[in-house]
Amino acid sequence: MTLRLAVATEDFGNPLRQAIEQAAKNKIQGLRLNARTEVRAEDFSDTALRQLKHYVAEHQLSVAGLMYSSRHAIYDEQHLEQRLDGIRAALTLVRKLGTSELLVRIGRIPDPGSATPVTKLGAPTDTNVDSLRNPFSFAPAVSTLQSAATTDAQKFQLLCDILNDLSSFGGRYGALLQLQFSSFELPRIQQLLSRITAGSVGIVFDSASCAMTGSSPVRVFRDLYQNVGYVRLRDAQKDVDGGGIEVPFGDGTVDWTELLPTLVEANLQTWVCVERTGGDQRNDDVRDAIRRIEQLLPSSG
């Protein structure tokens, strides 16, 4: 195996300790944890973090980054301040767990050239989706920014301000933001990256997002690989309505016989996380995906 494979503990559908034990039965090197549902900053003391890191190491594994999951784009006005506080809290954890990556959902990149007012959609019914209290309060002046972010151009500026603040904050804790996009629009991604100057960030390459939006995963990866800091291996199908759905490995439109050798050829030093975020048999689907990846890739010797 020539990729540094990881799995997400949340895909195993059990409390963290049991999920680690189950995940360790697979031919992997790392575990990606969830900073919202599994390793909350408010629940884990430094002692607890050391014990968790030690327990992972006892299973001959390493922590392969944290994910700060959210249903909303990072710049969404709904619970914006709480979301940013939660991300900062998660950024302080990664080094204590022996890793450096924090995956955060960016969502759609607003059009920086659009001055058309954006119609505000109805607020979600679950008001606790992005709530997370913690003692960090170094937020930029988002209260004044968010009220003015009514056009795509203004939302793009807000996104840039947020990422500059978070990347700078993460740098002080040895943590690197890995940005997850809902689609891979190369010009906008490049424009966004050029505006992040306060700290370093990476891009999360997600094969399923490519498939759902009708993009070629191999072409997207080759266009962006110099900025890729994390890989999520998922399969998906694009539906007739323009959306998409994640499916088990091999059942979607991702050409794994082309993509996997491309990832190997790139000599990636990043984590490659095999995931299954939906379905009734996520655990089995992940195990099957790892076996099939092993069959498709030449042995590392």
**Tell me, what's the pLDDT at 142?**
45
**Tell me, what's the pLDDT at 82?**
95
- Each residue's pLDDT tens digit, 67-116: 998 888 999 998 999 999 999 999 999 999 999 999 999 999 999 988 77
Taking all residues of the chain, what is their mean pLDDT, rounded to a whole number?
Answer: 89
Domain ranges of the chain: 5-121+128-296
Q: β-strands 235-238, 244-247: how paired?
A: antiparallel
Greater confidence (122 vs 115) lies with 115
Residue 173 in this model has a pLDDT that exceeds 80: yes
**Tell me, what's the pLDDT at 150?**
80
Residue 13 in this model has a pLDDT that exceeds 60: yes
- Each residue's pLDDT tens digit, 15-35: 999 999 999 999 999 999 999
**Tell me, what's the pLDDT at 17?**
97
The C-alpha atoms of residue 272 and residue 204 are separated, in whole angstroms, by: 10
Residue 148 in this model has a pLDDT that exceeds 90: no
**Tell me, what's the pLDDT at 119?**
52
The C-alpha atoms of residue 210 and residue 262 are separated, in whole angstroms, by: 15
Lookup: tokens for 279: 């379905």
125-161 burial code (b ≥16 CB/10 A, e <16): eeeebbebebebeebbebeebbeebbbbbbbbbbbbb
- What secondary structure, in 3-state letters, does 201-260 show? EEEEEEHHHHHHCCCCHHHHHHHHHHHEEEEEECEEEECCCCCEEEECCCCCCCCHHHHH
Using alpha carbons only, give the angle 237, 239, 242 rounded to the nearest 5 degrees. 120
Instruction: Name the CATH superfamily housing domain 5-121+128-296.
Output: Divalent-metal-dependent TIM barrel enzymes (3.20.20.150)
What is the distance of C-alpha 293 from the center of its chain? 21
**Tell me, what's the pLDDT at 149?**
54
pLDDT bracket for residue 239 (50, 70, 90):
confident
At 131, is the secondary structure helix, strand, or coil?
Answer: coil
User: Residue type for 39, please?
Assistant: V
